[in-house]
Amino acid sequence: MKSLLDNNIRNIISSMKTIAVVGLSPKESRPSNMVARYLLEAGYTIIPVNPGQDEILGMTCYPDLNAVPVPVDIVTIFRRSDAVPAVIEQAIQIGAKAVWMQVGVINEKAADLARKAGLAVVMDRCLKMDHQSM
Protein backbone atom coordinates (compact mmCIF):
# COMPACT_ATOMS: atom_id res chain seq x y z
CA MET A 1 0.00 0.00 0.00
CA LYS A 2 2.88 2.39 0.63
CA SER A 3 3.61 2.67 -3.10
CA LEU A 4 0.08 4.04 -3.67
CA LEU A 5 0.82 6.85 -1.23
CA ASP A 6 4.03 7.66 -3.02
CA ASN A 7 2.38 9.00 -6.18
CA ASN A 8 -1.25 9.92 -6.82
CA ILE A 9 -2.43 10.03 -3.21
CA ARG A 10 0.68 11.75 -1.86
CA ASN A 11 0.36 14.42 -4.57
CA ILE A 12 -3.32 15.03 -3.83
CA ILE A 13 -2.76 15.29 -0.08
CA SER A 14 0.28 17.54 -0.32
CA SER A 15 -0.76 19.91 -3.12
CA MET A 16 -4.52 20.34 -2.73
CA LYS A 17 -5.81 22.34 0.23
CA THR A 18 -9.54 23.11 -0.25
CA ILE A 19 -11.79 20.14 0.45
CA ALA A 20 -15.56 19.95 0.00
CA VAL A 21 -16.93 17.25 2.31
CA VAL A 22 -20.09 15.87 0.69
CA GLY A 23 -22.29 14.18 3.26
CA LEU A 24 -20.67 15.89 6.26
CA SER A 25 -22.66 15.06 9.36
CA PRO A 26 -23.17 17.52 12.22
CA LYS A 27 -22.83 14.58 14.65
CA GLU A 28 -19.35 14.48 16.20
CA SER A 29 -19.38 10.68 16.39
CA ARG A 30 -19.83 10.22 12.62
CA PRO A 31 -16.74 9.42 10.51
CA SER A 32 -17.37 12.39 8.17
CA ASN A 33 -17.31 14.79 11.11
CA MET A 34 -14.19 13.23 12.63
CA VAL A 35 -12.34 13.37 9.30
CA ALA A 36 -13.40 16.98 8.65
CA ARG A 37 -12.27 18.09 12.13
CA TYR A 38 -8.92 16.35 11.66
CA LEU A 39 -8.39 17.99 8.25
CA LEU A 40 -9.28 21.41 9.67
CA GLU A 41 -6.69 20.93 12.42
CA ALA A 42 -4.17 19.82 9.76
CA GLY A 43 -4.59 23.18 8.00
CA TYR A 44 -6.99 22.34 5.18
CA THR A 45 -9.93 24.55 4.20
CA ILE A 46 -13.09 22.51 4.70
CA ILE A 47 -16.39 23.23 2.96
CA PRO A 48 -19.38 21.36 4.41
CA VAL A 49 -21.89 20.03 1.85
CA ASN A 50 -25.14 18.64 3.22
CA PRO A 51 -28.59 19.77 2.02
CA GLY A 52 -30.13 19.18 5.44
CA GLN A 53 -27.89 21.60 7.33
CA ASP A 54 -27.20 25.35 7.35
CA GLU A 55 -24.00 25.15 9.40
CA ILE A 56 -21.57 22.43 10.48
CA LEU A 57 -18.38 22.91 12.52
CA GLY A 58 -19.18 26.63 12.70
CA MET A 59 -19.03 26.99 8.91
CA THR A 60 -21.71 27.64 6.30
CA CYS A 61 -22.99 24.36 4.89
CA TYR A 62 -24.00 24.22 1.23
CA PRO A 63 -26.80 22.07 -0.22
CA ASP A 64 -24.65 20.80 -3.11
CA LEU A 65 -21.33 21.42 -4.85
CA ASN A 66 -22.85 23.84 -7.35
CA ALA A 67 -23.73 26.18 -4.46
CA VAL A 68 -20.13 26.38 -3.19
CA PRO A 69 -18.86 29.92 -3.97
CA VAL A 70 -15.11 29.18 -3.99
CA PRO A 71 -12.86 26.86 -6.04
CA VAL A 72 -12.61 23.31 -4.68
CA ASP A 73 -9.53 21.09 -5.01
CA ILE A 74 -10.82 17.82 -3.55
CA VAL A 75 -14.39 16.56 -3.26
CA THR A 76 -14.43 13.89 -0.58
CA ILE A 77 -17.56 11.78 -0.59
CA PHE A 78 -19.30 10.35 2.49
CA ARG A 79 -22.39 9.08 0.69
CA ARG A 80 -23.69 5.69 -0.42
CA SER A 81 -22.03 4.37 -3.54
CA ASP A 82 -25.23 4.77 -5.57
CA ALA A 83 -25.24 8.53 -4.82
CA VAL A 84 -21.70 8.99 -6.18
CA PRO A 85 -22.48 9.59 -9.90
CA ALA A 86 -24.45 12.78 -9.18
CA VAL A 87 -21.67 14.05 -6.90
CA ILE A 88 -19.03 13.29 -9.54
CA GLU A 89 -21.06 15.13 -12.19
CA GLN A 90 -21.14 18.20 -9.95
CA ALA A 91 -17.43 17.86 -9.13
CA ILE A 92 -16.71 17.96 -12.87
CA GLN A 93 -19.03 20.95 -13.34
CA ILE A 94 -17.31 23.02 -10.64
CA GLY A 95 -13.82 22.18 -11.88
CA ALA A 96 -12.62 20.15 -8.89
CA LYS A 97 -9.18 18.59 -9.29
CA ALA A 98 -9.85 15.33 -7.44
CA VAL A 99 -12.60 13.15 -6.03
CA TRP A 100 -11.98 11.04 -2.96
CA MET A 101 -14.47 8.30 -2.12
CA GLN A 102 -14.13 7.34 1.52
CA VAL A 103 -13.78 3.79 2.85
CA GLY A 104 -16.66 1.63 1.62
CA VAL A 105 -17.65 4.08 -1.12
CA ILE A 106 -17.03 2.39 -4.47
CA ASN A 107 -18.44 3.26 -7.87
CA GLU A 108 -16.23 2.26 -10.80
CA LYS A 109 -18.47 3.79 -13.45
CA ALA A 110 -18.47 7.19 -11.72
CA ALA A 111 -14.71 6.93 -11.15
CA ASP A 112 -14.18 6.34 -14.87
CA LEU A 113 -16.33 9.39 -15.67
CA ALA A 114 -14.19 11.51 -13.32
CA ARG A 115 -10.94 10.21 -14.80
CA LYS A 116 -12.13 10.91 -18.35
CA ALA A 117 -12.88 14.50 -17.25
CA GLY A 118 -9.30 14.84 -15.96
CA LEU A 119 -9.91 14.48 -12.22
CA ALA A 120 -7.66 12.45 -9.97
CA VAL A 121 -9.65 9.65 -8.34
CA VAL A 122 -9.19 7.86 -5.03
CA MET A 123 -11.71 5.22 -4.04
CA ASP A 124 -12.42 3.20 -0.89
CA ARG A 125 -9.75 4.97 1.20
CA CYS A 126 -9.76 7.28 4.21
CA LEU A 127 -8.28 10.73 3.61
CA LYS A 128 -7.49 11.13 7.32
CA MET A 129 -5.66 7.80 7.56
CA ASP A 130 -3.69 8.43 4.37
CA HIS A 131 -2.75 11.93 5.58
CA GLN A 132 -1.57 10.48 8.89
CA SER A 133 0.63 7.94 7.11
CA MET A 134 2.54 10.54 5.12
- Please report the pLDDT score of residue 20 as a whole number: 98
Segment 23-40 mean pLDDT? 97
The whole-angstrom separation of Cα 49 and Cα 20 is: 7
Higher local confidence (pLDDT), 100 or 3: 100
Q: What is the pLDDT of residues 44-91, one digit of tens each?
A: 999 999 999 999 999 999 999 999 999 999 999 999 999 999 999 999
Question: How many domains would you assign to the chain?
Answer: 1
Higher local confidence (pLDDT), 33 or 8: 33
Instruction: Say yes or no to pLDDT of 2 above 80.
Output: no
The contacts of residue 24 (CB under 8 Å, 6+ apart) are: 32, 33, 36, 46, 48, 49, 50, 53, 56, 57, 61, 78
Range of the domain at 85: 2-132
Q: What is the pLDDT of residues 3-28, one digit of tens each?
A: 455 688 999 999 999 999 999 999 99
The whole-angstrom separation of Cα 132 and Cα 134 is: 6
- Please report the pLDDT score of residue 5 as a whole number: 59
The CATH number that applies at residue 49 is 3.40.50.720
SS3 label, residue 54: coil
pTM of the model: 0.94
SS3 label, residue 36: helix
